[in-house]
A and B are shown apart, each in its own frame.
Chain A
Amino acid sequence: MLRTLSRVSELPIIVKQLQKVRNCKAAVAVTNKTLVTVTNTNQQQHTKQANSSSNNSNNYSINRNNKYNNHWTTQQQQLKNHLRFDSRRSYSSSFFGLFQNAAQSGVAKTNNYATEATVQVNRPFKLHRLEEGPETTVKLTKDEALKYYTQMQTIRRIETAAGNLYKEKIIRGFCHLYSGQEACAVGMKAAMRDVDNIISAYRVHGWTYLMGVPPLGVLGELTGVQSGCARGKGGSMHMYSPNFFGGNGIVGAQVPLGTGVALACKYKGNGGMCLALYGDGAANQGQVFEAYNMAYLWKLPVIFVCENNNYGMGTSSERASCNTDYYTRGDALPGIWVDGMDVLAVRSATEFAIKYVNEQGPLVMETNTYRYSGHSMSDPGTSYRTREEIQEVRQKRDPITSFKELCIELGLITTDEVKAIDLKVRKEVDEATALAKGGTELALSHLWTDVYSNCLEPKLRGTNGYNIDHIQERKGVNH
């Protein structure tokens, strides 16, 4: 309790309050708690076994085997146990939070940082036709924490930069921003192996970055310059990279495509799978159900992921879908509902899903998420939902902020490191933006590029005064 010396005057009040709490256990048994255990390689283990009886259970029992170096009195030890039990991260601003932070920082003071932590996911998974679900207790290392935070922050910065460029009319056409949904992409990518594939719809700037295209590739493609990943010929919706099949403008068309990719993985026997992403609007397309059926019959390693952000353009999902439990829409296919704002939950669910589809058959996953901006840049996003709703999600459920707070609380990263990452990301994206603004577009000679392989027509038909030859610029990555 060395840290609380500053609050020593409050100590008597605090102790009295906690005595009351200790006597009344019911007050402490609040639903939806996060139990945190910090393991530390330098010190003796402060362990607490937390048991959750099932995925859907909200009751936690404490195992009172405390094997740590005890400098404190029995009473304070018991208080500390209660605090361990009660250490939910959202309480950090409350009364209990004072004491909790003090307690934890008391622990943290004895170690400079933690390198690994075990976390319980915030909201439980919902399962459809599955007995066992993904792990609710996940491990997080410092490196992973830094990586996920950097990735999410980069995606957010890229999207903000794209939005600004659009308002300056440097990007034209269509621009669908992923702000608010970063945890879905980062979580899924974290669980993907090199051999896995992914295909999505049009809200793919984040995925493009995660699948290996640098920010300049993304922003350059949006502005239509040569440094873009499709040389400026595709624009916002058509970005690709090895194992990332895009980038599709027609809603729902990518789902059977993804199923086909999974068939190829199974056929080639490379152990890979395919994530086929679509939204709550696309979930009503007929071809999605055709894909479900084929995948189930042939036991294809495909994970159908519905990124449910509650609005299909301007229509809320209740008004568009008879069944808004998109994870059950696969009917015979099992399904998992995941909180899409929690990157660790998404990762855990995806790991489970990858294992499941490689062994048993296809699976539907619904990641419940939210997008802050409108459907595209021409949609303000406020005519079908209130500003208060957007603000509420931004404040309470933002994926980046909540992940940051979690990591800081766990002692995995410090606020200084966070600031350093923020600055670095901002610098990188600003540089990319400047280059994307100043780049040059492809020349006219590239008009007739990559329409065919081995084009049999010598010249582009109908041209007057131009000799435009068909150029095959890139060899496909799928060979």
Chain B
Amino acid sequence: MPPDLCDKIIIMKVSSLARGLFSAIKSNAASSTRSHFTYYPTKFSPGTRDVQKMNMFQAINNAMDQALEQDSSALLFGEDVGFGGVFRCSVNLRDKYGKDRVFNTPLCEQGIAGFAIGVANTGATAIAEIQFADYIFPSFDQIVNEAAKYRYRSGGLFDCGSLTFRVPCGAVGHGALYHSQSPEAYFAHTPGLRVVIPRGPIKAKGLLLACIRDANPCIMFEPKTLYRAAVEDVPTEAYAEDLGKCDILREGKDVTLVGWGTQVHVLLEVADLAKKQLDIDCEVIDLVSILPWDTQTICNSVNKTGRVLIAHEAPFTQGFGSEMAAYIQEKCFLRLEAPVKRVTGWDTPFPHVFEPFYLPDKHRCLAALKEIINY
């Protein structure tokens, strides 16, 4: 895909169509191998900055490389990170920085989290990887009760601010119950933490460096299905995104669509379909930061459009959309033209065979959009 063509979205669509055809020719069970989303790379004008085409795991690798280089106290550890990690995020880092800075832990998430909190407490930078978000629950106690509360309970004397957790999350097409969960809502409920989710390589690198530099314990949930699927031109220098700010990816006047991670790309496709089929102008926002979330920008957008649709893969009841919906209806009540709509996963464990029905794909989102437009 030549990078210098102006409208990347058209290019992406053509190439995704070609890819779809190719994969249909290649495999018999075409429908089960194609993912539920189409990737929309972020339009980025590099200007004078040096860029390199990277996919998301390469961008994360680059970010960690720079972090380990700039901060001599930085450590990276987790299950199988030594040889490169199961998603290749930490390739070559052990060779470059040595076994005492990049090392494997045994199979013990609670140990990993506790250990990371201890390291961060002394002021050293700890980058801990939990291999899958579904495994984060043994360490939930450590994160919620220790990491989040350290600064508060010690009156500012101690803190584990130099702590970052990197956690692959989200549906991947065949993950079933324990390799597909999105637990961001559990952590959003914990004051003291910062939770972010990137939608692509540029964002991933910036957010990871921001989390590492941030003086609060941060969790970055990385949608694992984007590791290879998301390819963008990423600046090679070290840069940090702002935490707590969302991105307006597309301006519109009729309805606001909010999502994060992989869901952003589904919503971008829904916006295209809405424009084509219904002549609706959608404003698409990537929330980026779950905790704290950018209430200002979202409410401004809702006040402008009057209708909002929130989509996420996590289950419906008590998913993060419910927090947003409650806040939005409180702040924007008089400007709302339709109830706040949420399109999410169902209230069941993440299924094995029913994944295509479970995910909030473009068809469900489009149907929900029609409902609030016609309210």
Contact = CB atoms under 8 A, between A and B. Distances in A.
A446 B353 CA distance: 11
Contacts of A460: 346-347
B353 A285 contact: no
B177 A448 contact: no
Interface string B342-374: 111011110111100110000010011001000
A314 interface: yes
Contacts of B27: 169
Task: Report the interface size class on chain B.
Answer: 35 or more
A332 to B, nearest CB: 21
Interface string A202-241: 0000000000000000000000100000001111011000
Main SS class of interface, A: loop
Contacts of B80: 313-315
B351 A462 contact: no
A281 interface: yes
Interface in A278-309: 281-282, 284-287
A322 to B, nearest CB: 9
Interface string B98-124: 000000101110110000000000000
Nearest to A465: B367
A438 interface: no
Given A313-B80, A464-B371, A173 B108 contact: no
A160 B174 CA distance: 21
B179 A174 contact: yes
A234 B346 contact: no
Task: Report the interface size class on chain A.
Answer: 35 or more
B176 interface: yes
Interface string B232-251: 00000000000000000000
A447 B107 contact: no
B75 to A, nearest CB: 18
Contact of A315 (B29, B104, B351): B104
Given A169-B27, A237-B178, A250-B134, A285 B107 contact: yes
A448 B348 contact: yes
A235 B352 contact: yes
A108 B33 CA distance: 58
Interface in A437-455: 441-442, 444, 446-448, 451
A312 interface: yes
A361 interface: no
B252 interface: no
A463 B179 CA distance: 24
A9 interface: no
A235 B108 contact: no
A444 B125 CA distance: 48
B300 interface: no
A461 B348 contact: no
B16 interface: no
B135 interface: yes
B138 interface: yes
A234 B107 CA distance: 24
Contacts of A172: 32, 173-174
Contacts of A232: 352-353
Contacts of A320: 104, 106-107
Contact of B316 (A224, A315, A442, A462): A462
Contact of B108 (A238, A250, A284, A447): A284
Contacts of A252: 107, 138
B29 A169 contact: yes
Interface string B324-357: 0000000000000000001110111101111001
A297 B364 CA distance: 54
Interface in A455-479: 457, 460-465
Given A321-B106, A441-B353, A447 B348 contact: yes
A384 B82 CA distance: 12
Interface of A: 169-170, 172-174, 224, 232-235, 237-238, 249-252, 281-282, 284-287, 312-315, 319-321, 383-384, 441-442, 444, 446-448, 451, 457, 460-465
24 contacts: A169-B27, A173-B179, A173-B352, A224-B352, A233-B351, A233-B352, A233-B354, A234-B177, A238-B176, A238-B352, A249-B177, A249-B178, A250-B134, A281-B106, A285-B108, A313-B80, A315-B80, A320-B107, A451-B348, A451-B349, A457-B347, A460-B347, A461-B347, A462-B343
Given A173-B174, A174-B175, A464-B364, 4 more contacts: A169-B33, A285-B138, A444-B354, A465-B367
Q: Which 6 A-B pairs have the closest CB atoms?
A: A249-B178, A173-B174, A284-B106, A172-B174, A235-B352, A224-B353
